């Protein structure tokens, strides 16, 4: 007898009040999202296996926040780490202005040269970015993840020609966040349709 065994992710969303969103600049409804994976038998959901993601996000901007009192979305810090990782990996230390501009466009917040250098130093001491991102992904919304991969691609895009190694690094970062290659392709198409948010190919090379 053939048993069809599998796994299915079920998402549950419910409102949990309102808060003053620092991104939307006003009072917005807060939604709690819980994604659970279930064991399936003959395509029928049976019992839960694991909580894949659990976070609260603003109904307006879609960004996740650690709490209603948080002053910034949850993705700001891991995005800073991603950018620092790419700067260090591709030797872009002389192009901090462009890199900082990418962070600002992606978050609406400025970042100092010292902040980036500190993030780079932290990566060198604790070189497990991809594992950390897998954990971060559980508390990030889809909007957060897209913003992070857009920024990562803009860094390699402005650094020079995007070849195999550059695209591989973006794909690996996306994979750690739970985004497949098709998802990355769609994110890049979205950037193309918006003229890469005003950035130019290879602009770091002057």
The sheet carrying 5-21 orders its strands as 5-21, 26-41, 44-58, 64-65
What pLDDT is attached to residue 1?
44
Q: 105 and 200 share a domain?
A: yes
| Domain annotation covers residue 143 | yes
Contact between 96 and 104 under an 8 Å Cβ cutoff? The reply is no
Q: Are strands 5-21 and 64-65 parallel, antiparallel or unpaired?
A: unpaired
What proportion of the chain, given as a percentage, has pLDDT over 70? 93
Contact between 74 and 35 under an 8 Å Cβ cutoff? The reply is no
Whether the pLDDT of residue 23 is over 70: the answer is: yes
The parent domain of residue 29 ranges over: 5-65
Q: 59 and 96 share a domain?
A: no
This prediction's pTM:
0.89
| Domain annotation covers residue 179 | yes
Which residue bears the tokens 């926040």? Answer: 65
**136: domain CATH number?**
1.10.3680
pLDDT in tens, 183-200: 999 999 999 999 999 999
| Domain annotation covers residue 188 | yes
| Average pLDDT along the chain | 91
Q: 191 and 89 share a domain?
A: yes
| Domain annotation covers residue 104 | yes
Q: 98 and 29 share a domain?
A: no
Name the domain count of the chain.
2
**Two tokens, residue 140:** 């990030």
pLDDT in tens, 80-131: 999 999 999 999 999 999 999 999 999 999 999 999 999 999 988 877 999 9
Task: Measure CA 65 to chain center.
Answer: 13
DSSP helix/strand/coil, 165: helix
| Domain annotation covers residue 175 | yes
């Amino acid at each position: 007898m053939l048993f069809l065994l599998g796994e299915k992710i079920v998402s549950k969303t419910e409102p949990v009040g309102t808060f003053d969103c620092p991104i939307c600049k006003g009072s917005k409804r807060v939604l709690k999202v819980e994604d659970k994976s279930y064991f399936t038998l003959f395509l029928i959901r049976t019992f839960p296996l694991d909580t894949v993601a659990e976070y609260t996000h603003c109904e307006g901007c879609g960004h996740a926040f650690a709490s209603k009192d948080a002053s910034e979305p949850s993705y700001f810090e891991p995005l800073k780490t991603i950018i620092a990782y790419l700067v260090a990996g591709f030797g872009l230390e002389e192009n901090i202005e462009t890199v900082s501009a990418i962070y600002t466009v992606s978050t609406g917040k400025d970042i100092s040269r010292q902040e980036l250098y500190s993030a780079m130093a932290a990566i060198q001491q604790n070189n497990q970015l991809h594992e950390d991102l897998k954990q971060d992904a559980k508390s990030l919304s889809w909007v957060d993840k897209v913003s992070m991969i857009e920024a990562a691609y803009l860094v390699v895009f402005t650094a020079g020609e995007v070849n195999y190694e550059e695209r591989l690094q973006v794909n690996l970062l996306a994979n750690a966040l739970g985004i497949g290659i098709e998802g990355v392709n769609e994110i890049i198409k979205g950037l193309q349709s918006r003229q890469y948010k005003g950035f130019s190919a290879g602009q770091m090379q002057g």
